[in-house]
Amino acid sequence: MRKLLQSAAVASAGLLIITAGAANATPASTANAHTWLKGQLTGGLIHNSSYDFDDYGLTADTALALKQLGASNKKLKTTRKALASHVDDWIHGISPTDLYAGSVAKAVVTADALGANPKKFGGANLVKLLQSTVSTSGATKGRISDVSTDGDYANTLGQALAAQALAADAPKKAKPVLKYLLEQQCSAGYFRLYFADPTAPQTCDAGDPKTISVPDPDATSSALLSLQSLPHQSKKVKKAEKKAVRWLRRHQAKNGSFIGGTSTATPNANSTGLAASALAGAGECKQARKAATWVAKLQVSKKKATGALASAKGAIAYDKATLAAAKSTGITVDTQDQWRRSTTQAAPALQYLDAGNCS
C-alpha cells in the first residue's frame, strides 16, 4: 500500500488544465461530462474503490476540470474544504517526513483556482513548502525535488506546475524555477518528461534523445499550458511557446489525435485532450477543434449510454479499445480510475468543438 500511495502522489503532478474562465457555450457533450465527473465525487473527494483510498491528486484534477466546464468556486466548496482538511496526507503521503514536490505545486495551483489562500491552506503554507523543494545552487538551481525515502520522482510535469504556482504567489522566487523548466525543452521544440541525473548536464539538448531526452507530448502540452498561464511573458517564454506549438502541430495525427510518448504510443483521450487545450491557448483553433472532435468520439453520448453503459453518459474512454470493451462490461471498479483520469483530462477540450470558444 505504501508503494501505491507513493505512486498516486507522483501521478498527481501529471495533469494540468487551464483554469481561466469557462467556455461561453455549453454543448451537450460538455454538460454531460460535467455531470458525470461531478457524480464521481463523494464528500468532495475521488475515492479509489479498487484500493480503498482517497485520491487527492485526482480530486484536484477533477475540481480543475469541473471549473473549466463551468462550475463556480461556490459549487466546488466541498471539494476545496475536503482537500484542505487532508492537505498533509496529499503532499506528504504516508510519512510526515516525505514531501512530494509535484503534489505541493499542484496543491498551490488548485488552491489559487478554487479561491483559497495557498499560504494558509488547511493550516499549511504550501508556497513556503514548495520553495523548500527547489534547489538553490549549482547546475540544478531551480529544479524541484521530492524528499522521500522512496526516491525522487519529480519531473517536468511538476516543474511546470511549480513555475506556474510560484509565478502567481511568489514571483521573486519563480525565476530560477522557470529557467530550469525552459532548460527541459530541446531545440526541436518538445519538452522531455524526466530530469537528468543531478550530476549530469541538466539541459534537454545535453541528453540522449533516445533515452533521457525522449520527446514527450504530455510534458510538452503541460509545460506549454503553464507558460501560457504566466502573468508576464518574456521573450524567452514566448519563443519557447512558439517552438512547443510548432512541435505539437507537427506531431498531431491527421485524425486530430496525439499519443502520450514512448510509454503510451496509442492515440488516447488524455494526451489529445491536453494538447487540445494547449493548442487552443496558443490560438491554434483549427488544430484544437480537430483534437476535440477526435476526443468526442470516445465520449459516452446519450445514444451510446445504453446497456452496460447506461449510467456512464458523459464519461470519456481512454481509447477506442477501452470504449469497445466497456460496451459489454460497463465501467467497473477496476477500470473506473482510468475512465476518471481520461475524462478529467479530456473533457475541457470538448469546449473547442464550438469555434467561438477559441480565438
| Distance spanning both ends of the chain, measured CA to CA | 46
H helices of the chain, in order, are: 2-11, 28-38, 56-68, 77-85, 87-92, 101-113, 126-132, 156-169, 171-183, 217-229, 235-250, 269-281, 285-296, 320-329, 336-346
Express as a percent the part of the chain with pLDDT over 90.
87
Higher pLDDT, 11 or 52: 52
Cell of 348: 475541457
Q: What are phi and psi of 260, to 5 degrees?
A: -105, 5
Whether the predicted pLDDT of 229 surpasses 60: yes
113 alpha-carbon distance from chain centroid: 14
Question: What are the tens digits of pLDDT across the range 184-225?
Answer: 999 999 999 999 999 999 999 999 999 999 999 999 999 999
Q: Which of 12-21, 40-49, 55-64, 170-179 has the lowest mean pLDDT?
A: 12-21
Whether the predicted pLDDT of 17 surpasses 80: no
C-beta separation of 50 from 334 below 8 A: yes
Express as a percent the part of the chain with pLDDT over 70.
93
Could you give all domains of the chain from N- to C-terminal order, each with its CATH number? Answer: 2-357 (1.50.10.20)
Rounded to whole angstroms, the Cα distance separating 230 from 348 reads 20
C-beta separation of 51 from 141 below 8 A: no
- Span 12-17, mean pLDDT? 48
Whether the predicted pLDDT of 279 surpasses 70: yes
Whether the predicted pLDDT of 154 surpasses 80: yes
Does this model's pTM top 0.85? My answer is yes
Q: Which of 252-256, 261-265, 269-273, 311-315 has the lowest mean pLDDT?
A: 261-265
- State residue 15's pLDDT score: 53
Tell me if residue 190 falls in helix, strand or coil.
coil
- State residue 27's pLDDT score: 79
Helix (H) or strand (E) holding 202: none
C-beta separation of 84 from 124 below 8 A: no
- Span 171-192, mean pLDDT? 98
SS (H, E, C) 309-345: HCCCCCCECCCHHHHHHHHHHCCCCCCHHHHHHHHHH
Higher pLDDT, 4 or 282: 282
- State residue 349's pLDDT score: 97
Please state, rounded to an integer, the average pLDDT across all residues of the chain.
93
Question: What are the tens digits of pLDDT across the range 19-56?
Answer: 444 444 457 899 999 999 999 999 999 999 999 999 99
Cell of 225: 499550458
Question: How many residues does the structure list for the chain?
Answer: 359
78 alpha-carbon distance from chain centroid: 21
